[in-house]
Structure 1
Amino acid sequence: ARYNAKKVHALMNDVGIVRNKAKIDGAILSAKSYLDIMEKGPGFSKLLWDFMDGKPLVNHFKTTASVPASTPLSVQISKELSSRGFKFVGPTIVYAFMQATGMVNDHLVDCHCHATCGKTRRKPRLKAK
């Protein structure tokens, strides 16, 4: 979030990363947006889990072809993040994030992880008085 033009220039010359100015600028803007949510907003985790009512969505897909790339909920979250200044947070990326973080359980029903992941529940936070 604190990268300046000199650091961006150095990144553009770093052969070890994808040297795309828009992606570098987007990562910096997203980091600033994240900090803003953490400092002035509800917090990143709360913002996202509020879309889920604090519990993961457990799907019951039987085939990988049934698993969507995005959903109406990932579209909604994508729009919220974009409105808060995040970049490169389209519905497909958001849905992949939801899967990776356990917000959505898309393990196939015959996968040994399906039942275990379906039991996870985020602990609700105490509300300030």
Structure 2
Amino acid sequence: MNNFSIIRSGSCAACLMSLLVGCGGGSSDSSPAPVNQNPPVLYSTNLNWVAPENRMDGSSISFSEVAGYKVYMGQSRAKLNLVKTIDDPQVLSTEIIDITKGKYYFAIAVYDSENLTSPLSKTIVREF
């Protein structure tokens, strides 16, 4: 028995066997591939902060010296990862998207025009 047939559409002809091979071969099982009925729920959160007025040593920092902010996130207070760098010192908020269910910790660091980065801010926690 032949496992292929020619399908003609207008002037184009395609070999069904080639199509089946390209899709992983032909099988007598005609059941469709399983579909994930419950895709993960994704969350988002908005973070807001104020621009720093002082350096860590207590000396003042002018707004023109601030180059931007680094946003950190993680599921452990002790292990935060950089998730976003904001290169505009006037931006004082951001949205973090595509967060899966769980408990997350967030912190912000500021960096200046000489690329000196502050220690992380106090950590905040949010549960989704």
Whether the TM-score (by the shorter chain) exceeds 0.5 is no
More helix as a share of residues: 1
More strand as a share of residues: 2
What TM-score range do you get, normalising by the shorter chain?
Answer: under 0.3
Q: Which has the higher contact order (CA 8 A, sep 6+)?
A: 1
Specify the structure having the higher radius of gyration (Cα). 2
